[in-house]
Amino acid sequence: MVERKLAALDVAEDAIIYSSGMAAFVGLLMAKLSAGDEIVFFDQCYHRSREFCYKHMSRFGVKTHQVKTGDFEAMEAAINSRTKMIVSESPTNPHLTVIDLEQFVALGKATNVETLIDATLATPYNIRPIEYGVDYVWHSATKYMGGHNDLLAGVICGSTEKLAEVRKLRGVLGGINSPHNMYLLERGLKTFALRMERHNENGLKVAEFLESHPRVERVFYPGIESHPSYSVAKRSMKGFGGLVTFLVRDADWKQTAAVIDACRIPKIAPSLGGVESLIEQPLVMSYFDYAPADREKFGIYDNMIRMACGIEDSQDLIADLKQALEA
């Protein structure tokens, strides 16, 4: 029943639920790729999905290419007769780059390559990639769809025909979710639209505040005109989500951590998409074991903060950020 509801949200024929977002991604690739195949990523994709391909799919003879996010010429140049899939997030995390899905789909069709979009941050409330012709849409339902930071789930949406072999392999790999988690996910879907309205509202207001603050060097949010993806986002998205990333001006990683520690409302935690606001330093939470050159390559800066705005009062969130930045 929950699969049918998730498929309906994404205007897809079918949906397959897994025990986590990564389990869904792994299940899809294991069903679709074989030794000798190749896959092309835009480089701002979730670091664990890149890691799975580079470190693990490579052991089974699958080659991964990575190109600059949004550079369709580079992606086209990386595609060859062995390429089976092109992959991107939209928007990306934590830079919030929005992909031109019309170009993405056109490239896939022109080269006879399947397309996969991780739309976790957008959710079907803000964009539905299948309406553009994307073959597979991937969500970590742990985030906005569950909405309460109390479950893990992942989902792949697409056509019934293309997902048939994926569903069969799910039973072999064993990434099945529990009945109680399905109850929790269905409960979350009942308030999904209401929550997304508030996430969109809070994200935009917080981003606008941060852009005006003298202690903030740069804000990454596709709903403000300074973001490189603003025009694409404005054209293709209903709203811009609750995730806001920003750089603290003239701060090292310890000073940046001090700003986070001074916040009183958002909790320091991974994940996003719940009713509570969460805040983190990507350097510390996800990239601390990366070499500085690798962090810079992926655009992860020492002074970067990622805030997932919940559904609290936006003025409370802004007041809290203001006192933390000025503390």
Instruction: Note whether 46 and 99 are same-domain residues.
Output: yes
Output the CA torsion sign for 43, 49, 52, 53: negative
Nearest alpha carbon to residue 321 among 225, 218, 215:
215
CB atoms within 10 A of CB 70: 22
pLDDT of residue 251: 96
Instruction: Note whether 152 and 201 are same-domain residues.
Output: no
Among residues 175, 190, 205, which one ends one of the domains?
190
Instruction: Express each pLDDT in 131-186 by its tens digit.
Output: 999 999 999 999 999 999 999 999 999 999 999 999 999 999 999 999 999 999 99
Q: How many CA atoms lie within 13 A of 103 on its CB side?
A: 15
Instruction: Note whether 173 and 66 are same-domain residues.
Output: yes
Instruction: Note whether 141 and 222 are same-domain residues.
Output: no
Total number of domains in the chain:
2
Instruction: Note whether 125 and 78 are same-domain residues.
Output: yes
Instruction: Note whether 238 and 165 are same-domain residues.
Output: no
Q: Which residues contact 132 (CB under 8 A, 6 or more apart)?
A: 101, 102, 104, 105
User: Above pLDDT 70, what percent of the chain?
Assistant: 100
- Whether this prediction's pTM lies above 0.85 is answered by yes
Sheet holding 278-280, edge to edge: 216-220, 243-248, 304-308, 278-280, 267-268
Among residues 158, 190, 222, which one ends one of the domains?
190
Q: What CATH code is carried by the domain that includes residue 159?
A: 3.40.640.10
Q: Is residue 288 very low, low, confident or very high in pLDDT (cuts 50, 70, 90)?
A: confident
Instruction: Note whether 72 and 214 are same-domain residues.
Output: no
| Rounded CA separation 144/189 (Å) | 9
Q: Is residue 47 very low, low, confident or very high in pLDDT (cuts 50, 70, 90)?
A: confident
Q: What is the mean pLDDT of residues 23-50?
A: 95
Q: What CATH code is carried by the domain that includes residue 198?
A: 3.90.1150.10
Instruction: Note whether 44 and 186 are same-domain residues.
Output: yes
pLDDT of residue 230: 98
Instruction: Note whether 237 and 148 are same-domain residues.
Output: no
Domain that holds residue 54: 2-190
Averaged pLDDT score across all residues of the chain: 96
Q: Is residue 203 very low, low, confident or very high in pLDDT (cuts 50, 70, 90)?
A: very high
Q: Is residue 290 very low, low, confident or very high in pLDDT (cuts 50, 70, 90)?
A: confident
Instruction: Note whether 49 and 183 are same-domain residues.
Output: yes
**Angle 287-290-293 from CA coordinates, rounded to 5°:** 115
Instruction: Note whether 178 and 233 are same-domain residues.
Output: no
Instruction: Express each pLDDT in 106-129 by its tens digit.
Output: 999 999 999 999 999 999 999 999
Instruction: Note whether 23 and 87 are same-domain residues.
Output: yes
Q: Is residue 234 very low, low, confident or very high in pLDDT (cuts 50, 70, 90)?
A: very high
